[in-house]
Structure 1
């Protein structure tokens, strides 16, 4: 009896039916432009601005060095995410579901749960920053109502699924791109802004901290890039998925974060407020665009949260996933994330920086294992049917090699970690330059490849 999962052969243009199932070739409506538009528009939001403002506002770097650190971090981090994205057209399944091949049917659900928490965190964070954008223009507006309203918009988009999300992102990438471009040009013409950090001194600690933030910003996309590249026709190939993702992510991130650097220099306490303070009515319009676009963009974050929630449910509770399951999961997840945003409106910047730092340490080992397995060990050859088999098929329920490698990778980062609650013993000798991500990636990939080859050698001996 075949383990191949059932597929829906009818094409649905408006309401998504496939959820976590492989996308049939006749339903792959994605294009290079629609893919790039998703990643461009995803970064065109106030949360990206706030992240860029950390460089000049929190770390006190000069404007020039802030932009260099942002550029370097995004260029490095996006390379990993784009490699993950190249898997989508070939396999046709969500990114974290594919982790069943490296960690087992049940083992992968641990990482789907981690990714689920991450996306829920981003959904809540975007709601808070969207609310701040709106209140910067209309200070009397009820913040609770704003968050609930923006959350509802994201839920509605997510309920309809990929088709509506893709078309929305394509239009948004144009509208918000123009708004950000106008803001950038106007700010660069204001010497009272560009001279704000003229006396600031370069610091290795600040530079590498911002470099790490740029890397984790991009790697945060890794757990869901294939959620969208799986809609590209298989004939499009991995190169189109790679470059569409890479250029879209890097170009938009650096562009918007650079605006954040200027805003952070102008107003370190409230970077978004600097738009209205320095650009007047134009700045107010940009803030409104940011607020509305964030609500729309958030549908993408919720969509991937739901994909991971469904993966966990199918793996652990033998739930039969239907379109109805996806819709109700979307509503529940959206409501929970909105409640988190309502409760987390206080010291947002401190919480968000800590959130980004922890994400980096958790995602790095998973990314190293996934890329090593896909490109070196299996060279893209996976049994899709076995990935959906309740007993794990050829991949099993728990993969000790993958799980052990991940554990080693996490431990390897500990001596180098720099977080608000813990700093590793080797951080001070390295002048608090965060290299934990680099150590974690290299160690994890090396351990995984060694253990895979060792296991293969033992099997050969037993069979011989």
Structure 2
């Protein structure tokens, strides 16, 4: 049996997973992504549909389905990269942006992880306080940080084991709670509440798309140990897809119902009101527990990204579990401070984070997927990811970085935010279409630029150029 399969504490960080340490079942990808969405943050996000965007139940459901079914497929395409390359997602991004150029995305993703980790800490602590009033929010945040830290230090296998357990345990609690609310907790006239606006509908679609794409920078971290055969890769995609989509949509539908039935700015408390005791207490305990356990995925991802950033300048540095533990401790402490700082203004801070992420992640995901599936067809020189000079990919890929920057800039006129509304968004009734503009621009532009580079390289090779760079690499 493989060494890693028997190890209690994961030995790897960002290094390549050897073939003799590949293990696991793709159905574990279903459970880890299903269970990771069962926390209170998912339910709170669903409540945005009626409470922030003013949508009725029917329009909320449609917006959620459109966003998650579409965004989930993009996210699952990233997951399928893991078995083929055996490295974390952000290391693989060096193949598109160059070893140093990839830092532009890596640092953004670290901020994302910290934001989601802190957000989950707040909601988990609030759930714990409501279930056990003797435990204040700050103490709950500290407890959540400690539990997530332990899981992160042990690593990959423990996270998958927790995913299997929490899928059945907390998934059952969620289903019972949803049925209770649907058949006995909704007020008269529930279906007539809320309404429709194009801006609100597209805003909630955006939330669903981004919810899924926010996993893209680290989804293959949890599939990179899987065997690399073709059937396994296909199964990786679909198990990840349905696990994440179903795990997201169920709690968000509950959030929609809670937001319409009770309203207010505290969906967790509103859900407890609808459930009544003792089911409310059980649900609150499950929220607190699932948040502490699955929030480790955010801390784990942030740690791998920090290692990736440092290794960019120290190419021989491939640390093991001790360094991962120290970095996790530092990042966990930072998230504790962030969570304590914005606990009282959670909803506003969280919504701002959602919109920030959508503008920077969409162009990255388009470049990554186009490059992997349409330009290189999954074929990369993995040793170059760790080379001092970036190997055949160089330190900087000016083409990818230029398209990425343009993809973000093209979104600006379509932004509709509290602090800024672009002219085109205003002309469309203050409808935020920034994410869609970024996706529609970046995908064909990068595909054209990359294929043009391939043709130029092929022409140089045909004319006898002695030192032509690979068709997918910019010169240093």
Same fold, TM-score > 0.5, yes or no? yes
Whether 2:264 is the aligned partner of 1:268: answer yes
CA distance in 2 between counterparts of 1:193 and 1:140 reads 32
Residue 35, structure 1, aligned to residue 32, structure 2: no
Does residue 418 (structure 1) correspond to residue 416 (structure 2)? The answer is yes
Aligned counterpart, 2:248: 253
Equivalent position SS for 1:423? coil
Q: Which of the numbers 150, 153, 159 marks the counterpart of 1:165?
A: 159
1:382 aligns to what SS in structure 2?
coil
Which residue in the other structure is 1:3 paired with? Answer: none
Q: Does 1:434 align with 2:432?
A: yes
Question: Is 1:65–1:202's contact at 8 Å kept on the other side of the alignment?
Answer: yes
CA displacement at 1:319 relative to structure 2: 6.4
Instruction: Give, in angstroms, the shift of residue 280 of structure 1.
Output: 1.7
Gaps of 5+ in 1: 1-7
Of the three residues 219, 236, 241, the one matched with 2:236 is: 241
Q: Is the 8 A contact 2:13 2:324 kept in 1?
A: yes
Does structure 1 conserve the Cα–Cα contact (< 8 Å) formed by 2:55 and 2:200? yes
1:1-40 aligned within 5 A:
11-40=5-34
What is the CA–CA distance in structure 2 between the aligned matches of 1:75 and 1:316, rounded to whole Å?
39
Q: What is the CA–CA distance in structure 1 between the aligned matches of 2:234 and 2:429, rounded to whole Å?
A: 39
* 1:235-275 Cα shifts (integer Å, max 9, x gaps): 24321111011101111111110011111122332111123
Partner of 2:89: 95
SS in structure 2 of the partner of residue 189 of structure 1: helix
| 198-207 vs 365-374, which moves further | 198-207
What residue number does 2:371 align with? Answer: 373
Q: Following TM superposition, by how much is the alpha carbon of 1:461 offset from its aligned partner in structure 2, in angstroms?
A: 4.8
1:302 aligns with 2:299: yes
| Residues 187 and 193, structure 1, Cα contact 8 Å, conserved in 2 | no
Count of residues paired in the alignment: 457
**Contact preservation (8 Å) 2:416, 2:426:** no
Q: Helix, strand or coil: the match of 1:234? A: coil
Any idea what the Cα deviations from partners look like across 1:9-66, whole Å, max 9, x if unmatched? 6654211111111112222222122111110001000000000000112222111211
Which SS does the other structure have where 2:14 is aligned?
Answer: coil
Give runs of aligned pairs for residues 95-244 of structure 1, distance below 5 A. 95-190=89-184, 192-193=186-187, 195-196=189-190, 198-235=192-229, 236-244=231-239
Q: Is residue 61–residue 197 contact of structure 1 (8 Å, CA) maintained in 2?
A: no
Q: Following the alignment from structure 1 to structure 2, what is the Cα–Cα distance between the partners of residues 319 and 288?
A: 45
1:333-375 per-position Cα deviation (integer Å, ceiling 9, x unaligned)? 1111111111111211111111111111100000010011001
When residues 450 and 15 of structure 1 are mapped into structure 2, their CA distance, relative to the original with a 3 A threshold, is: same
Instruction: Map 1:354-369; keep pairs closer than 5 Å.
Output: 354-369=352-367
- Cα 1:172–1:194 change in 2 (3 A) is farther
Q: Does 1:293 align with 2:274?
A: no
Could you tell me which residue of structure 2 aligns to residue 313 of structure 1?
310
* Contact 1:58 1:268 (C-alpha < 8 Å) held by counterparts: no
Shift of 1:190: 2.7
Q: Classify the secondary structure of the residue corresponding to 1:385.
A: helix
Deviation at 1:163, TM superposition (A): 0.8
- Where 1:419 maps in the other structure, the secondary structure is coil
Say which SS state the counterpart of residue 199 (structure 2) adopts.
helix
- Distance in 2 between the 1:192 and 1:392 partners? 58
Distance 1:10 1:196, change over 3 A: closer
RMSD (CA atoms): 1.6
Cα distance in 2 between the residues matched to 1:28 and 1:253: 28
Match of 1:272, SS?
Answer: helix
Query: TM-score normalized by structure 2?
Result: 0.93
CA separation in 1, counterparts of 2:272 and 2:110? 35
- Which residue does 2:467 correspond to in 1? none
1:87-108 CA-partner distances (Å, limit 9, x unpaired): 1111111011101011001111
Contact 1:9–1:24 (8 Å) recurs in 2: no
TM-score under structure 1 length normalisation: 0.95
Structure 2: where are the runs of 5+ without partners? 464-476
Q: Quick one: distance in 1 between partners of 2:153 and 2:3? A: 20
Which of the residues 361, 381, 389 maps onto 1:383?
381
Cα separation, partners in 2 of 1:305 and 1:87, compared to 1, 3 Å: same
| Distance in 2 between residues matched to 1:453 and 1:220, nearest whole Å | 28
Q: Tell me which moved more, 185-194 or 116-125.
A: 185-194
Give the Cα separation in 2 of the matches to 1:387 and 1:80: 23
Checking the alignment, whether the CA contact within 8 Å between 2:83 and 2:228 is kept in structure 1 is: yes
Q: For residues 390-430 of structure 1, what are the alpha-carbon distances to aligned partners after superposition, in whole Å with 9 as ceiling and x for unaligned?
A: 11010001110110110111111111012222111101222
Distance 1:226 1:367 in 2: 13
